[in-house]
Amino acid sequence: MRIPATLSPDIQQALANNQPVVALESTLITHGLPYPLNVETALAMEAAVREAGAAPATIAILNGEITVGISPVQIEALAKAPPNSVRKCSRRDLPVAIALAQDGATTVAGTMIIAALAGIKLFATGGIGGVHRGQPHDVSADLIELGRTPVAVVSSGAKSILDLPLTLEVLETYGVPILGYRADALPAFYAVQTDLPVDQRIDSPEEAAAIIRAADAIGARHGMLITVPVPADKQLDAKTADKAIEQATAEAEAAGITGKNITPYVLNRVSELTGGASMAANIALLIKNARVAGEIAQAYCKLQIKPRPTSKE
Ligand code: PSU
Ligand code: MN
């Protein structure tokens, strides 16, 4: 059975001509940021990908149809949709949303699956899901997906509302390389860095592209995480961020928030508690990550076309 997918003409053409494409997720539009900041940010991310010379493909499920490269009008409609009218789609939600003709916003895991189906290698977002603080059994499906789907995710690490050391352990178990883009330490989403080292620092889009290419060459089925720190002038003081995160997490527990509602609840509460500063950091890092992913996508396409001079075959 053919999968019910629509690719926008732009994306179809770019992929057919081996031109750079960057996938973008839609959960941050419906569940991550409030209206109208969500539309503005989604469009600013698309613009940043274009400025870097790549085509942006924002991915969502619209009325059961996998849609790669949704239009600005469709982005606006998702952004304005009443809360809970759009399904937050991780791996397990995709078949349900497709079969029952629902609208779905794809998470990192959901977007990776669709990007891989479409043949898109780069994907930019803010922060991946991870292991929740104090809830070591609440492991985001994003981590498992990184272990089994060959898409490179450009992000500012895992959201610092998570347990970062445990998140790194899980990624190691699944064989996911963690690369620091012009950084030696893992970023902490709202803050430029943690004291946790990345596997490898990289200093250019070309280095990132070469690593993705090498993973292709050895038939690696896993993805990789390319971490980019938030712009320094937008970062949150680590103590302020930590205090807000701890309070928000405790409140979520007290309010009985569970499962996929935890992340949106905590993100929103942290923003209230920091007077919007966390939101400003979030938006700045999303736009920066989109640009970096566009640059890497371009370097990756160049590598694919050029025959390797050292190859003996
Ligand atoms: N990054 C953001 N805002 C978000 C998310 C990431 O800056 O809203 C979303 C992503 O879609 C990610 C999801 O995949 O949160 C993780 O949710 P969970 O912890 O329920 O797996
Ligand atoms: Mn979870």
Provide the CATH number for the domain around residue 213: 3.40.1790.10
Q: Which helix (H) or strand (E) holds 160?
A: none
309 within some domain: no
Q: What is the DSSP letter of 199?
A: S
Q: Which helix (H) or strand (E) holds 61?
A: strand 55-62
Q: What is the tens place of the pLDDT at every residue in 22-64?
A: 999 999 999 999 999 999 999 999 999 999 999 999 999 999 9
Count of domains for the chain: 1
Ligand in closest contact with the CA of 258: 2
Q: What is the pLDDT of residue 311?
A: 55
Q: Name which residue sits closest to atom 11 of ligand 1, judged by CA.
A: 107
- Find how far residue 297's CA is from the centre of its chain: 15
Q: What is the pLDDT of residue 62?
A: 97
Q: What is the DSSP letter of 137?
A: E
Ligand 1 nearest atom to the CA of residue 155, by list position: 1
Rounded CA gap, 88 and 94, in Å? 9
270 within some domain: yes
Q: Which domain holds residue 120?
A: 5-304
Q: What is the pLDDT of residue 309?
A: 61
Residues with CB under 5 A from ligand 2 (ion): 138
196 within some domain: yes
Ligand in closest contact with the CA of 106: 1
Three-state secondary-structure class, residue 170: helix
Q: Is the peptide bond before 72 cis (omega within 30 degrees of 0)?
A: no
Q: What is the pLDDT of residue 133?
A: 85
- Catalytic residue flag (residue 159): yes
311 within some domain: no
Q: What is the pLDDT of residue 24?
A: 98
Rounded CA gap, 265 and 273, in Å? 12
Q: What is the pLDDT of residue 1?
A: 43
50 within some domain: yes
312 within some domain: no
Spell out, as residue ranges, where the chain has pLDDT lower than 70: 1-4, 305-313
| Amino acid found at 47 | A
- Catalytic residue flag (residue 25): yes
| Amino acid found at 224 | M
User: pTM for the whole thing?
Assistant: 0.94
